[in-house]
A and B are shown apart, each in its own frame.
Chain A
């Protein structure tokens, strides 16, 4: 059974600082890894999808890396803004099924 862990559970940074969010998983035989953002009381918004053959994926200020051999993915958010405050979830994609971490709740202080 795939176990997905996100540490820390919560993070508070001043505006402008770079964010580094970690995700680890136990079974490296994955299809893809997907990062989501969730605002309080809302659904999930997909941020980045990294295919298993890729090592990283970028979108604007977001960059996600994937190291299957060590069972890790990292989401980098450059020059954080108060609008980046949310919970970030990583999910291991095994076909059409996802195994989620519990998330990291980020607060960016103005």
Chain B
């Protein structure tokens, strides 16, 4: 049971390039989400998914695209990278323990630098 995995661990992009950050989970969790972490700001929600084929925007969605074709995978696409997207990106999955309790599991993160 690998939990939540993310690739790559590190990436350097030039402004204007596109790329996809990969996220996979093997726990059969319904819910998956992407966060970015910037110094002094905590983690902010980019996009999330409540199941295969269903995605929605979070707090900071601009410049990012997602899709969820399977329960296991939730890739994050940067359409045209900008220096403001330099950050650490975390993928998370969660399940509902009970009707009102959701427990979150996080991947190890991808450190992205845009020059």
**Contact yes or no, A51 B100, CB < 8 A:** yes
Report the stretch among A11-19, A62-70, A96-104 that lies at the interface.
Answer: A96-104
Interface size on B, residues (CB 8 A): 29
Whether B107 sits at the interface, judged by CB under 8 Å, is: yes
Interface of B is mostly: strand
Q: How many whole Å from A53's CB to the nearest CB in chain B?
A: 8
A95 to B106, CA, bound (A): 16
8 Å CB contacts to A: which residues of B58-102? 58, 90, 92, 94, 96, 98, 100-102
Contacts of B94 in A (CB 8 A): 96
**Contact yes or no, B102 A43, CB < 8 A:** no
Decide yes or no: A43 and B101 within 8 Å by CB, A89-B43, A98-B43 being known contacts.
no
**Contact yes or no, B104 A46, CB < 8 A:** yes
Whether B50 sits at the interface, judged by CB under 8 Å, is: yes
Question: Which A residues are within 8 Å of any B CB, using their own CB?
Answer: 4, 9, 31-32, 34, 36, 41-46, 49, 51-52, 89, 91, 93, 95-103
Question: Which B residues are within 8 Å of any A CB, using their own CB?
Answer: 30-31, 33, 35, 40-45, 48, 50, 58, 90, 92, 94, 96, 98, 100-109, 111
